[in-house]
A and B are shown apart, each in its own frame.
Chain A
Amino acid sequence: MLTSITEILNLLKKYGKVEKIHKDTYVVEISPGKVRELCEILHWKLNGHFSVTVGSDERPVNGYFGVYHVFLLDKQKLSVIVHVKVNPVTLKIPSITPIIPGANWHEREAHDFFGIFFEEHPNLERLILPYDWPEGIHPLRKDVNVRELRYKLLKKETGLVVEKKAEEEYIVPIGPYHPALHEPEYFELYVEGEKIVDARYKGFHVHRGIEKVAEERLTINQVPFIAERICGICGYTHNVAYCQAVENAARIDVPLRAKYIRSILLEIERVHSHLLWFGVLFHLLGFDTGFMMTWLVREKIMDLAEILTGNRKNYGMNLVGGVRRDINEEKIKLSLETLDYVEYKLRKILDKMLKLKEITSRTKEIGLLSREEARKLSVVGPVARASGISTDVRRYHPYAAYSELEFKVPVYDAGDVYSRALVRYDEIFESISMLKQLLKNIPKGDLTAENVKVPEYRKGLGLTEAPRGENVHLVITGRENKVYRWRPRAPSYNNVPSTLVMLKGEKLADAPAIIASIDPCFSCTDHVVVIDVRTNVKQVLRLKEIARGK
């Protein structure tokens, strides 16, 4: 087996031109014929994992469309970007979905937005664009102008939404607002009595086209603010990932103090996000005392964030090259006090809540995801760690100040809802310990890099470990202080397909807890239809109502 970096580079050189774009990140440009072979090696043989596929319209620059498959090799601490140039006339390249099923959504998205055909893709249907979107308009192409498009679409009479037939089965739709977290989504659950036999998902009802807004209208330092609004819970991690991508592309050295401040806020965000998740889980299991008590502790963290940044959410702390506000001694002292209180409180209540029989009997051995399935779908974050895959961007691709910290990466093998809860439980305390290290050792220095200049057409990859998993931003810088291509990939994008595997064979009453167990964040990435295969009676329900046993 290949292990060292030079061996891997030599291997990559056999396939095509290798270019180092920044630290530990290599782009290998290969011909379409070799894509599958190389991707199979990277994902399965080298034990890396597929992260994201990015489509890009580079006709104004080099005359081709580009497809970038990003792979992260955790053991070697490397990121490899496989770049394929797509002929703008035929627009065909081989699909990698038959080898890595996790690439399914990614390739369908590139098909929607750029019109690239992935040959031998099992299901190259629309993913993000609505069914009534006119054929042949691919919105992220550079020749599509938003204003013209709006005019065209308003004039054209669009057809009605084409509904798929649910063949003589019984459907219970849940949504269109997410049952657990109140965000739009649409699950179709096929049931036989109580048992779920199959599941389908339709999401992206709230896709807002922020990539187009960023590429057309915003300047490089305005994008961090829209990036932060991708998610209402873990927005700061997107903000950091974007800034890191641009900083990497422009080779800007961020001062250490700014890195520490970024890490502090990222960890605060993780603690509040995990506590929010515990509250949602308890609520769905009908344990509202637990919900209230975890959220009470979470409120302390929210207040802390408000004091440090000026807002509970949407910290708005980053710019390319550094941070905007400083954390003074007084705030550090207050933070340490709050953290001590939060740790004491959580040890007292969360420990006991996880031992309750009402909780364990409804989460243990439920919603199973085996290691093999997890690898196939390339899941990330706590979902992967609960299925025995040790992956953590903070450990294997260190960013911000994480290379200077001591922390453990909790891994559990059971792959059920309970182990996902345990992973998050451990992570909360790891985060608190990290926060203490960060606050005590924060160095003095500048807040922003001195010379922030962004050259044109450079690629940069920004990785962060969001509370839900690894978060990837790929940026290609453009002219006139703009981004040419920006593709943010939220962790739920890779995790949501795994719920369909988890739901099969489970009881209908467990569906809310299973869907919530991946900590879905559908606006980053959505209504459930339950279909009985025997009686063919349709019923519209919300998951919350199932949770209540209606």
Chain B
Amino acid sequence: MKTPRIDIFKEALKTGVVTKKYPFEPVEAPEGFRGKPSIDFEKCIGCEACVNICPPNALSVEIDTKRGIKRVMLFLGRCIFCGRCQDVCPTEAIKLSREFELSSLNSKDLYQIVELKMAKCKICGRYYATVRQILFTAKNVPKDQRPLLLLCDECRSKVSAKHISYARW
């Protein structure tokens, strides 16, 4: 009986060397690869949809109430590359790229921070939403309702409640 050893040896010889000389030779990820997410600072409206959905809390938000600035922060050290943020983003501002080399000597390289200007409420003067978010919402709101967008949540409900009671009379 022929021993299988020779066949295995032949097969190994035929295969040859398959190891790639990475990192000296580039390796590319396929299309649709879920790599490093990146935020398009021009498109982000600061709606916090991604912050709410993110399973590992890699995305967080900070509001500077004195200066009226909203900071959306992405920390790649916590990111699990699930791509849920990409799914929910209304403006396609956050997208997963095919990049996967994330090692760095400086942990600050792993942060992406978007700073957005906020608008003040016309009545109470409180910062309540980013300017971009208001402009984005305005596209889907009928013209006569748009002034209401300039008010914060609380004032808006008060004003609309007034409108309703007038309408009844």
Q: A289-B8, A316-B82, A352-B7 given as contacts; is B55 within 8 A of A218 (CB)?
A: yes
Interface residues of A in 154-213 (CB under 8 A from B): none
Q: A218-B55, A352-B4 given as contacts; is B33 within 8 A of A225 (CB)?
A: no
Whether the pair B34, A310 counts as a contact (CB closer than 8 A) is yes
Distance in Å: Cβ of A209 to nearest Cβ of chain B: 15
Whether the pair A349, B8 counts as a contact (CB closer than 8 A) is yes
In the complex, A265 has a CB within 8 A of chain B: no
In the complex, B26 has a CB within 8 A of chain A: no
In the complex, A494 has a CB within 8 A of chain B: no
> With A and B bound together, what is the CA distance between A351 and B7 in angstroms?
11
Size class of the contact patch on chain B: 20 to 34
Whether the pair A316, B83 counts as a contact (CB closer than 8 A) is yes
Distance in Å: Cβ of B120 to nearest Cβ of chain A: 32
In the complex, A437 has a CB within 8 A of chain B: no
Selected contact of B15 from candidates A293, A314, A356, CB within 8 Å: A293
Whether the pair B55, A222 counts as a contact (CB closer than 8 A) is yes
Selected contact of B33 from candidates A290, A306, A314, CB within 8 Å: A306
Distance in Å: Cβ of B116 to nearest Cβ of chain A: 25
Selected contact of A314 from candidates B30, B80, B84, CB within 8 Å: B80
Q: 4 shortest A-B CB distances, which residue pairs?
A: A352-B4, A310-B34, A222-B55, A225-B55
In the complex, B87 has a CB within 8 A of chain A: yes
Q: Which residues of A contact B5 (CB under 8 A)?
A: 356
Interface residues of A in 221-236 (CB under 8 A from B): 221-222, 225-226, 229
**B residues near A, CB below 8 A?**
4-5, 7-9, 11-12, 15, 18, 29-34, 53, 55-56, 80-84, 87, 96
In the complex, A34 has a CB within 8 A of chain B: no
Selected contact of B82 from candidates A225, A293, A352, A353, CB within 8 Å: A225
What residue in chain A is nearest B82 (Cβ atoms)? A316
Interface residues of A in 313-344 (CB under 8 A from B): 314, 316, 324-325
Selected contact of A355 from candidates B4, B9, B87, CB within 8 Å: B4
Q: Which residues of B contact A352 (CB under 8 A)?
A: 4, 7-8
Whether the pair A307, B32 counts as a contact (CB closer than 8 A) is yes
Whether the pair A353, B18 counts as a contact (CB closer than 8 A) is no
> With A and B bound together, what is the CA distance between A306 and B55 in angstroms?
21
Size class of the contact patch on chain A: 20 to 34
Q: Which residues of A contact B7 (CB under 8 A)?
A: 348, 352
**A residues near B, CB below 8 A?**
218, 221-222, 225-226, 229, 289-290, 292-293, 296, 303, 306-307, 310-311, 314, 316, 324-325, 348-349, 351-353, 355-356
> With A and B bound together, what is the CA distance between A324 and B32 in angstroms?
13
> With A and B bound together, what is the CA distance between A416 and B163 in angstroms?
80
Whether the pair B34, A311 counts as a contact (CB closer than 8 A) is yes
Q: Which residues of A contact B80 (CB under 8 A)?
A: 225, 229, 314, 316
Q: Which residues of B contact A355 (CB under 8 A)?
A: 4
Secondary structure dominating the interface of A: helix
Distance in Å: Cβ of A238 to nearest Cβ of chain B: 14
> With A and B bound together, what is the CA distance between A352 and B2 in angstroms?
11
Q: Which residues of B contact A290 (CB under 8 A)?
A: 8
Q: Which residues of B contact A324 (CB under 8 A)?
A: 83, 87
Distance in Å: Cβ of A263 to nearest Cβ of chain B: 20
Distance in Å: Cβ of A115 to nearest Cβ of chain B: 30
Q: Which residues of B contact A289 (CB under 8 A)?
A: 8-9, 12
Whether the pair B4, A356 counts as a contact (CB closer than 8 A) is yes
What residue in chain B is nearest A355 (Cβ atoms)? B4
Distance in Å: Cβ of B10 to nearest Cβ of chain A: 10
> With A and B bound together, what is the CA distance between A226 and B80 in angstroms?
10
Distance in Å: Cβ of A345 to nearest Cβ of chain B: 9
Q: Which residues of A contact B8 (CB under 8 A)?
A: 289-290, 293, 349, 352-353, 356
> With A and B bound together, what is the CA distance between A224 and B81 in angstroms?
13
Q: Which residues of B contact A303 (CB under 8 A)?
A: 30
Q: Which residues of A contact B12 (CB under 8 A)?
A: 289, 292-293
Q: Which residues of A contact B55 (CB under 8 A)?
A: 218, 222, 225-226
What residue in chain A is nearest B96 (Cβ atoms)? A310
Distance in Å: Cβ of A3 to nearest Cβ of chain B: 45
> With A and B bound together, what is the CA distance between A12 and B2 in angstroms?
60
Q: Which residues of B contact A325 (CB under 8 A)?
A: 32
> With A and B bound together, what is the CA distance between A361 and B127 in angstroms?
76
Q: A324-B87, A349-B8 given as contacts; is B18 within 8 A of A310 (CB)?
A: no
